[in-house]
Amino acid sequence: MADSVRIGARPIGYWVSAMPRVNTMKIRNFALAMAAVGFINIGMRLVIREPTKLSDLCAVDSTGNVVVDKVAVGTIAKSQGDYYVEEDEANFILLSKCDKGGCGPFDQRLLREHVGASVRAEFCSKHAAKLIISDKVTFQLTQQYLDDNLATIQRNGGLMNKLAFYWIGFWLVLLVAVELRTRTRSA
């Protein structure tokens, strides 16, 4: 019975000495790079500013309504994940296209269920101003919409900043731990 307990049982020192030595310089550089990524993410949030006034995006009239400079009327068509207004068989105007930065000018969730439906899309300064699908206003760019959007962005930004600070803190604590371990081993 005593022999079966000893088979395969080794002291912890055996496993520690058998492990390859960790290159502390690689860990330091990696931890600093990861902390830098966190600082870059925080910095980007400070640099990119969302529009706070409707007049920052589009021209507005004296009543505060958007001045429309382009209108597309037709039916909604979809091709390879992109949505268009098909005005006639030869004229297509982009409603929504997705790439790395997101989807626009209109959100694709507004269009998914309505392929083939009649649509009127209004634009101002290449921004989505109003979307009417089957005689129902689906989207309208207003100051209230911008205010709600800004509040959501700020709320999500606060959460992202918190996560970034935890991220930075984790990597800096790891860096300190590696430094302390290196100094205690060399002493």
Mean of all residue pLDDT scores within the chain: 79
**pTM of the predicted structure, to 2 decimals:** 0.60
Whether 5 shows a pLDDT value over 50: the answer reads: no
Whether 166 shows a pLDDT value over 80: the answer reads: yes
93 and 117 co-located in one domain: yes
136 and 151 co-located in one domain: no
The pLDDT tens digits of the residues spanning 43-79 come to 887 777 777 787 777 888 888 788 888 888 888 888 8
- Under 8 Å between Cβ of 68 and 96: no
83 and 104 co-located in one domain: yes
Does the residue 48 lie in any domain?
yes
151 and 175 co-located in one domain: yes
Residue 180 amino acid letter: L
Of 89, 73, 92, the C-alpha closest to 130 is 73
113 and 146 co-located in one domain: no
Q: What are phi and psi of 20, to 5 degrees?
A: -70, 150
- List the domain range (segments joined by +) for residue 160: 23-53+142-187
Does the residue 45 lie in any domain?
yes
- Mean pLDDT of the 96-106 span: 76
37 and 99 co-located in one domain: no
Tokens coding 86 = 């098909």
Does the residue 88 lie in any domain?
yes
Q: Which residue has the tokens 């371990």?
A: 181
Does the residue 10 lie in any domain?
no
Does the residue 61 lie in any domain?
no
Q: How far is it, in rounded angstroms, from Cα 74 to Cα 118?
A: 6
Of 90, 125, 121, the C-alpha closest to 106 is 121
The pLDDT tens digits of the residues spanning 15-37 come to 444 445 667 788 888 888 999 99
| Count of structural domains, the chain | 2
Angle, helices 143-186/24-47, rounded to nearest 10 degrees: 160
